[in-house]
C-alpha cells in the first residue's frame, strides 16, 4: 500500500473514531479526550500497530496547528466585557496557581533528595496546564456560567505564567551550573514572552478591523485560518512562543472587532477534527516503555503537582474572593497536562543533557496519567459547579 493511501485511510479512520468517542463521551463520565488518547495507545506502534509510523511522525506539525487554534480560541474568551467582574479572581488564581505549584513541586522534590537543578526544572514544568484538553472538555460538557468561563480564562493565562517561570528557571539553573550570565538568560525570557505579545498585537490590531468585512459580521474560515497560520509561522521564524502570540491575537480581535457578531465561529467548526487527530496521534506516539521508568521521583512529581494545583488554586481563589465552591474545585479542574509540559521538557533536555533522560521519561510518563485522569477530574469539577 502506498503512502498516500495509508495517509488517507489513517486520517479517515481517526476522524470516524472521533465521532464514536464523542458519542461514548456523552454516555459516560469519560471525556472524549481521554477516550482518544486510549484509542491512540491501542492502535499505535506499541500495541496493535494499526497506524503507520510515517503518520505518527507528523504529530509535531499537527500538535502545533492544534495548539495554535487552541490559543486563538482561548484568547477569544478573554473579552473584557465578560471577564471584568472576574478580573481579580482570574489574575489571582492563575498567578498563585502557577507559582504555588512550581514552588510546591520543587521544594517537595528537593526535600526527598532530588538535585536542586532538576527540582527547579520539574517545578517549573509542573506549573503548565494542558489548554487543548481543558478547552475540549469544557466545550464537550456544554456547561455555561461563571466557573467554565473562569476556568478557560485561567488556562489561557496559565501557560503564559508557566513559560515565564520556566525561562527564569532555566536562567537559575544556568547560574547554578556556572553557564552564561544572568542577563543573557533574562533577555531570552523577555524575548520569548514579550516578543510573542508584540507579535500578537501586531497581527491582531489590523485583523480586528479588516476581518468580517466580506461576510458582514462573521469572519470567513479562510480569514481565521490565514491569521492563525500566519501568526504561528512568524512566531516560529522569530523564535517566540506561538501559543502566547496566537492567544494575544485572539484576545485583541475579540475585544477590538466591534463589528463582529461572533469572531471565532468559523474556526470552531474545524477545531474538533484537529483535536481528534491531535489526541489520537499523541496516544500513538507515546512509548509505553516510558511507564516502566516511573520511579519514586516520578511518583513524587505527580503527587506534588496534584496537591500543588489543588492547594494553590484554593489559596488563589480564597485570596481573590471567589466563592467557596469555586475555591474547592478550581485546582482540581486544572490537572490536565500535555503539550506545553513536553515542550518544556525537550527544551530543558537540550540545555542540560545530564538531566535529559530523567526529564523526558518522567514528563512523558506523567503526561499519560494526567491526560487520562485530568480531563475526568475537570469534568467532575464542572459538574460540581453548575450554575
pLDDT in tens, 134-172: 777 777 776 667 788 888 878 877 877 887 788 788 778
Q: Please state the pTM of the whole predicted model.
A: 0.78
Instruction: Give the residue, 240 or 315, on which the prediction is more confident.
Output: 315
Dihedral sign computed on CA atoms, order 109, 113, 118, 119: positive
**CB under 8 Å to 189, separation ≥6 — which residues?**
164, 167, 168, 170, 171
Per-residue CA distances from 311 to 178, 209, 316 (Å): 34, 42, 9
Residue 367: band (very low, low, confident or very high) from pLDDT cuts 50, 70, 90: confident
Residue 385: band (very low, low, confident or very high) from pLDDT cuts 50, 70, 90: confident
Residue 353: how many CB atoms within 10 A of its CB?
9
Is it the case that residue 312 has pLDDT exceeding 90? yes
The rounded distance, in Å, linking the Cα atoms of 149 and 87 is: 12
Q: What is the pLDDT of residue 294?
A: 63
The rounded distance, in Å, linking the Cα atoms of 387 and 375 is: 20
First to last CA, the chain: 53
361 near 345, Cβ under 8 Å? no
Q: pLDDT, tens digit, for every residue of 236-289?
A: 899 888 878 888 898 898 888 876 666 566 666 677 788 788 778 877 776 666
Rounded average pLDDT over 79-86: 71
C-alpha cell at 175: 547560574
376 near 34, Cβ under 8 Å? yes
Amino acid at each position: 500500500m502506498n503512502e498516500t493511501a495509508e495517509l488517507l485511510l489513517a486520517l479517515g479512520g481517526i476522524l470516524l473514531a472521533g465521532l464514536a468517542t464523542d458519542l461514548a463521551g456523552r454516555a459516560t463520565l469519560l471525556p472524549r479526550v481521554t477516550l482518544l488518547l486510549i484509542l491512540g495507545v491501542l492502535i499505535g506502534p506499541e500495541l496493535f500497530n494499526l497506524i503507520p509510523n510515517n503518520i505518527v511522525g507528523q504529530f509535531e506539525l499537527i500538535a502545533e496547528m492544534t495548539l495554535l487554534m487552541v490559543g486563538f480560541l482561548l484568547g477569544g474568551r478573554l473579552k473584557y466585557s465578560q471577564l471584568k467582574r472576574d478580573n481579580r479572581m482570574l489574575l489571582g488564581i492563575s498567578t498563585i496557581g502557577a507559582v504555588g505549584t512550581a514552588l510546591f513541586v520543587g521544594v517537595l522534590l528537593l526535600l526527598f533528595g532530588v538535585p536542586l537543578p532538576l527540582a527547579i526544572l520539574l517545578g517549573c514544568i509542573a506549573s503548565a496546564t494542558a489548554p487543548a484538553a481543558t478547552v475540549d472538555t469544557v466545550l464537550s460538557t456544554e456547561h455555561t456560567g461563571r466557573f467554565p468561563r473562569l476556568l478557560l480564562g485561567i488556562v489561557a493565562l496559565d501557560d503564559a505564567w508557566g513559560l515565564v517561570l520556566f525561562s527564569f528557571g532555566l536562567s537559575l539553573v544556568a547560574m547554578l551550573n556556572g553557564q552564561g550570565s544572568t542577563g543573557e538568560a533574562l533577555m531570552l525570557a523577555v524575548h520569548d514572552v514579550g516578543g510573542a505579545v508584540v507579535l500578537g498585537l501586531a497581527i491582531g490590531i489590523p485583523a480586528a478591523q479588516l476581518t468580517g468585512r466580506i461576510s458582514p459580521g462573521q469572519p470567513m474560515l479562510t480569514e481565521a485560518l490565514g491569521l492563525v497560520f500566519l501568526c504561528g509561522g512568524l512566531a516560529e521564524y522569530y523564535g517566540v512562543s506561538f501559543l502566547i502570540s496566537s492567544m494575544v491575537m485572539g484576545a485583541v480581535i475579540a475585544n477590538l472587532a466591534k463589528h463582529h457578531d461572533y469572531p471565532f465561529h468559523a474556526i470552531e467548526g474545524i477545531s474538533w477534527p484537529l483535536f481528534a487527530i491531535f489526541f489520537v496521534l499523541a496516544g500513538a506516539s507515546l512509548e509505553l516503555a516510558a511507564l516502566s521508568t516511573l520511579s519514586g521521583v516520578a511518583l513524587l512529581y505527580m503527587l506534588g503537582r496534584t496537591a500543588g494545583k489543588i492547594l494553590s488554586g484554593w489559596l488563589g481563589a480564597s485570596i481573590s474572593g471567589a466563592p467557596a465552591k469555586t475555591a474547592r474545585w478550581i485546582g482540581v479542574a486544572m490537572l490536565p497536562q500535555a503539550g506545553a509540559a513536553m515542550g518544556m521538557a525537550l527544551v530543558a533536555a537540550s540545555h542540560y543533557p545530564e538531566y535529559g533522560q530523567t526529564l523526558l521519561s518522567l514528563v512523558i510518563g506523567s503526561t499519560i496519567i494526567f491526560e487520562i485522569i485530568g480531563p475526568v477530574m475537570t469534568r467532575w469539577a464542572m459538574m460540581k459547579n453548575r450554575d
